[in-house]
């Protein structure tokens, strides 16, 4: 099963923080702006100087993409300040913000800790840091859950990826790849399990026919209750 989970580095792009992900499969650098968060996937041995130069060259384009995301993003009411609660697997954790050089989010003793420079960009940097944290947790937790349920479903997915979707929690491709919305990590564990089983069963049936739902019920007899609960939670799982 193919899962990308390399240890990230971070570079200050003067107004944004870029996550650097080194991959032996990459031959050229690839800059991405997703959910307002900047990442650059690069070959394993590419130097920090070359990465900084690339970010500087593309700075205008990156800032435009970030601004476009902010314009289109729905207003969540979040302030991204110390004491604010964020849900992870159905439990609320308080955010603790310290000023200083950027440091990625860590969950320590029931608190989400993050360090960022002060200034007008701080709330956006904190949000982006949280997005990155949720995505990395999603890779770890969803991989574990897929491994646990795949045998019970009777399938072997080709790959697992975490993505951003506007109106769905997951998808299954004809090639057997499972894609999950990182925001599902805000939902309670039992609802995350339902999404995993749902997508795994699509490896047996690529539709929502009665036969498909019978496969889901075989593995998860109370799936209908979980499905309805997920609908109720859907408007709350935003960042």
Chain length of the chain? 239
Return the H-helix or E-strand segment holding 75: none
Give dist(CA 115, CA 105) in Å, integer: 8
Higher pLDDT, 87 or 238: 87
What would the pLDDT profile of 116-149 be if each residue is shown by its tens digit? 888 767 888 899 899 999 999 999 999 999 999 9
Planar angle of CA 35, 41, 43, nearest 5 degrees:
180
**Per-residue model confidence as pLDDT tens digits over 178-199:** 999 999 999 999 999 999 999 9
pTM: 0.85
What residues does CATH 3.30.2010.10 cover in the chain? 134-233
User: Which CATH number is correct for 134-233, 3.40.50.720, 3.30.2010.10, 3.20.20.70, 2.102.10.10?
Assistant: 3.30.2010.10
Q: How many CB atoms lie within 10 A of CB 122?
A: 16
Nearest to 215 by CA among 196, 195, 201: 201
The tens digit of pLDDT for each residue in 20-50 reads: 988 888 899 999 998 888 989 999 999 999 9
């Amino acid at each position: 099963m193919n899962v990308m989970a390399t240890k990230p580095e971070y570079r200050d792009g003067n107004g944004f923080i870029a996550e650097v992900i080194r991959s032996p499969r990459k031959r050229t650098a690839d800059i991405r702006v997703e959910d307002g968060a900047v990442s650059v996937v690069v070959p394993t041995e590419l130097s920090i100087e070359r990465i900084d130069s690339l970010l500087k060259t593309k700075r205008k384009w990156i800032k435009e993409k970030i601004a476009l995301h902010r314009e289109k993003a729905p207003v969540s009411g979040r302030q991204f300040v110390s004491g604010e609660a964020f849900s992870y697997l159905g439990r609320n954790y308080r955010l603790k913000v310290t000023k200083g050089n950027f440091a990625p989010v860590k969950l320590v003793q029931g608190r989400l800790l993050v360090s960022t420079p002060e200034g007008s960009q701080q709330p956006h940097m904190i949000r982006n840091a949280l997005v990155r944290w949720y995505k990395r947790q999603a890779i770890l937790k969803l991989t574990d859950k897929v491994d646990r349920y795949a045998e019970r479903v009777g399938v072997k997915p080709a790959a697992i990826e975490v993505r951003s979707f506007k109106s769905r929690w997951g998808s299954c491709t004809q090639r057997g790849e499972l894609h999950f919305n990182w925001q599902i990590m805000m939902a309670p564990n039992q609802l995350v399990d339902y999404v995993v089983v749902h997508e795994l069963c699509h490896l047996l049936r690529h539709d929502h026919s009665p036969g498909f739902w019978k496969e889901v019920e075989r593995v998860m007899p109370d799936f209908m209750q979980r499905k309805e609960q997920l609908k109720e939670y859907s408007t709350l799982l935003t960042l």
